[in-house]
Structure 1
Amino acid sequence: MSAATASKQECIKNCQECQTTCADQLSSHCLVEGGGEHVQQEHVQRMLDCIAACKACIDFMSRNSEYHALYCKACAEVCKACADSCEQVTELEACVACCRKCEKSCSAMAA
């Protein structure tokens, strides 16, 4: 396996982890808390954007699309915004960690 293929597979894995972790935390933590910072519109939107960006990025990389780098760049930006938002909310350390990891690998794929 080439280094580029290994990097892409790692990025896909990180995007999948980020997508599922954010979806789980949003539905099982933020919406369950039912108030305050957990359900502020901007925070929930950041999490939904991150879930969608990761899904799109996985799709483009899995298909070996020539446009995957564009999606990886966007995904990195969205993951950063989501991590920044999750840092402001209590008990979302898992989201912060996976978003930062995904941001890093997507940034590398976009370069």
Structure 2
Amino acid sequence: MYQMPAEMRACIEDCLRCHSTCLGMAMTHCLEQGGKHVEPQHFRLMLACAEMCQTAANFMLIGTPHHRTTCGACAQICEDCAKSCEAVGGMQECVEACRRCAESCRRMAA
């Protein structure tokens, strides 16, 4: 039976947490706040980040070596999302989840 490395398990958890945080904040906090929170570039980036995090987690769960590619892309998108959320303001939970996921994914992509 395949024994998944602890670092990969941790990255999957970080990805799923980031997916949940970005999607949840986009659909509640951002929609309710309006204004710069729902500007197309920011809002799309949050949804793209949520999707990429879920995809990266799925690739690691599947056990394909292609997870390095998805994790590399995920790290970049999470970093972009963290910067955007920081610029918008009032989204520290999202900023922290994105940064933690980006760091974890960078290690998995290496």
Map residues 24-39 of structure 1 onto 2, 5 A cutoff.
Answer: 24-34=24-34, 36-39=35-38
In the alignment, what sits opposite 1:16?
16
Describe the superposition over 1:14-53 as per-residue Cα deviations: whole angstroms up to 9, x where unpaired. Answer: 001000011111111001112x210111000110110010
Give identity over the alignment, percent: 40
**Would you identify which runs of 4 or more consecutive aligned residues in structure 1 move more than 4 Å?**
none
Tell me the residue number matched to 1:82.
81
> 2:62 maps to which residue?
63
TM-score for both structures, normalised by structure 2: 0.94
In the alignment, the residues of structure 1 paired with residue 9 and residue 75 of structure 2 have an alpha-carbon distance, to the nearest angstrom, of: 16
Unmatched tracts of structure 1, length 5 or more: none
Query: Aligned equivalents of 1:86 and 1:7: distance in 2?
Result: 27
State the one-letter code of the partner of 1:40.
E
1:48 matched to 2:41 = no
Q: CA RMSD for the aligned pairs?
A: 0.9
**Unmatched runs of 5 consecutive residues or more in structure 2:** none
**CA drift at 1:66:** 1.5
Deviations 1:66-91 (A, max 9, x none): 20000000000000000000001121
Say how many residue pairs are matched.
Answer: 107
